[in-house]
Structure 1
């Protein structure tokens, strides 16, 4: 039969001063006792809690018997005691469910899933961009070639059940100051996705407050660096500059003997404003010559598997340029392809091996450098074609909802990142609605500084 606890008066320094040397206890929760051990030079706080048929005990701090700074009064000791017991019980539950899950385990599982998904889409083994970022800034990576070893971040070793918002904020603060805001945000989003995925797979082992810790510890950056905004003004090109880029793309295509593949890719990007990943998935059947439109596959951004396409009308000149890659081909074949070069066995010579779809935006890196050199536009990036297409629709006074739908994005995104152009477009529409108000007949006289018809 369990003994009845004899509670001691330990709530104030004066009450504790009257106690004999030794340990004294007071119940603060069912099966949890706060203790005070009095010594010759003051006392310390203890906590004990039932585990099975016995108790576990831990020291939690110094009592405020003489010094108030850096010590715990009774109420602070109660709070610390409950936190200590809660942490210990969480660790016991986590250990009983199997190996302790850490941030590193969550990140490794997420990277494996991302790599598998990207490899399936590309039809070959591929390492995901998110995997590269998380390996470098969370897991660490061994030395490779001239690249030095990078150690794991302290965050990687923290158990998920013990993760605190401060741990995530500390990791964010330790990131390089030289990292661009957009790169930093992508990394933060990758880690957030990894932790949320781990919670979804282990909800029975983690506290329900875990998603809130992740949400607030990895909240989006409030501002973006001036050097790296979403849509820089110099990347929104007038039609004349788009034409220069297209002429340069045709020249580079011919110089590099690409058979029109590079030019057609850049042409479709400019005509539709779609992302590279969407254009690369176009099929022959998505090019409807008679109707003069392209059925752009929806983006894979966001959660869940999305399917379907977006109808984007284009000019007859675009259709005429695509006729050579449509004629005589099956509807399910990729519309835009390129030659894959192979090396002859036992030789340093390369030859055109087979044709296949564009797979990664990195494939346009070197030819794009040649395109902008030929166009004399040293700073322009491929994404400028999308920015320019969106702004072109806004300035044509198309409804913002239609512009968003054509570019597979949200009205909010356009309002947030192209607000100046939205305002200009609305002003033009409002100005077109202005009608003359002043009478045009009769003599005009001046009255109180204004003009009035008599």
Structure 2
């Protein structure tokens, strides 16, 4: 093909496609040839920097900045041999081997100041979550391969079924108040906020003073699972509580700070919440997520629409239906029971 910018003909061998069934080789070769032609016509820049798996991950982050994806790539992709494999050589077996290594990597529970860590076996649900960013990054630059072939890279990243363990621990209002009262002065405002709003704990920790809009009683949640900012309306009492935590600080500073001035994160909030649960004589399995689950449960039980609950929680209606729909059904059955005569 003629590269007009360099005024010379360029060639590229597409290979023999040994992993592709013979009746599909032409269509696959045609697709790759057309993609290469588009690249040459664009000055060779379209895919020039996206050569390896790591390139695909970095390109994904540049277009969709996401702390969760960045963490997964930094811990499990970049240090791995998978990151240096060229995309045109990537096969299902490469990703199967990477997935096996991921499954065998212990999950971090905590790390103390001296550097000692506590770990546990990585659950299937955690593996599913860790595969999501890599699957998304590769989907941007690779078409799915033919099913049941080595070119079907996507098959190795399919989530395991029935991997989600339901969160069953529920704390009622009185128990949540005991948890707040039993917490240290440092983390008490943070725990109290988790009892007021059903947003994810990481999103709560990332809230900045600038995210509060007292005039309209709205909060902008910037760091959440979707990676896109969203707004929710809150009661005046909740806004007043959040503003109280924000006095004498700059707009870009976090609302909830530790005593050292740093934001809360999953390694720093676990121990204080565990201590607060012990002080309040609550189950040892109490976590930050327990509070979110309990608040969502109360919202559903109060008769709020599943759409509204999903919007407040920053999740899909289907997720709320799957995990909390039985609460609505139970209330409906009780209501129908009152009609019996």
Q: TM-score range by the shorter chain?
A: 0.5 to 0.7
1:159 to 86, 89, 113: 86
Deviation at residue 388 of structure 1 after TM alignment = 0.4
> Could you give the per-residue CA deviations for residues 191-233 of structure 1, whole angstroms, max 9, x where no partner exists?
1122234x1xxxxxx6x556995654423332215xxx2x421
Q: Which structure 2 residues correspond to residues 12-51 of structure 1 after superposition, within 5 A?
A: none
> Are the aligned partners of 2:203 and 2:224 in contact in 1 as well (CA < 8 Å)?
no
Pick the aligned partner of 1:306 from 210, 229, 238: 229
Structure 1 residue 374 corresponds to structure 2 residue 293: no
Alignment partner for residue 137 of structure 1, among 73, 76, 99?
76
Tell whether 2:326 aligns with 1:403.
no
Q: TM-score, normalised by structure 1?
A: 0.53
Asked whether the 8 Å contact 2:220–2:229 carries over to 1, the reply is no
The Cα shift of 1:164 comes to: 3.8
* Pairs within 5 Å for 1:147-296: 152-153=80-81, 155-165=82-92, 167-176=94-103, 178-197=121-140, 199=141, 208-209=143-144, 213=152, 215-224=154-163, 229=165, 231-234=166-169, 236-249=170-183, 252-253=184-185, 258=186, 262-279=187-204, 280-283=206-209, 286=212, 288=214, 295-296=218-219
Matched positions, count: 301
CA offset at residue 237 of structure 1?
1.6
- Aligned-residue offset at 1:384: 0.9
Is contact 1:168-1:218 (8 Å) kept?
A: yes
Residues 373 and 224 (structure 1), Cα distance of their counterparts in 2 relative to 1, 3 Å cut: same
Contact 1:287 1:294 in 2 (8 A): yes
Match of 1:202 in 2: none
**1:107 and 2:107 matched:** no
Q: 1:232 to 1:399 in 2, by over 3 A?
A: same
Q: Distance in 1 between matches of 2:253 and 2:333?
A: 42
Label 1:379 to 1:131 Cα distance change in 2 as closer, same or farther (>3 A): same
Tell me the equivalent position of 1:435: 339
Aligned-residue offset at 1:243: 1.7
User: Contact 2:50–2:59 (CA<8 Å) still a contact in 1?
Assistant: no
Structure 1 pair 56–129 and aligned structure 2 pair: CA distance change class (3 A): closer
In the TM superposition, what whole-angstrom CA distance separates every residue of 1:80-113 from its partner, at most 9, and x where no partner exists?
8957x949x86x95998568822243235556x4
Counterpart of 2:218 in 1: which secondary structure? strand
Decide whether aligned partners of structure 1 residues 215 and 436 sit closer, same or farther in structure 2, where only a CA change above 3 A counts.
same
User: How far apart, CA to CA, are the structure 2 residues paired with 1:287 and 1:57?
Assistant: 58
Q: 1:297/1:108 Cα in 2 relative to 1: closer, same or farther (>3 Å)? A: closer
Contact persistence 2:131–2:157 (CA under 8 A): yes
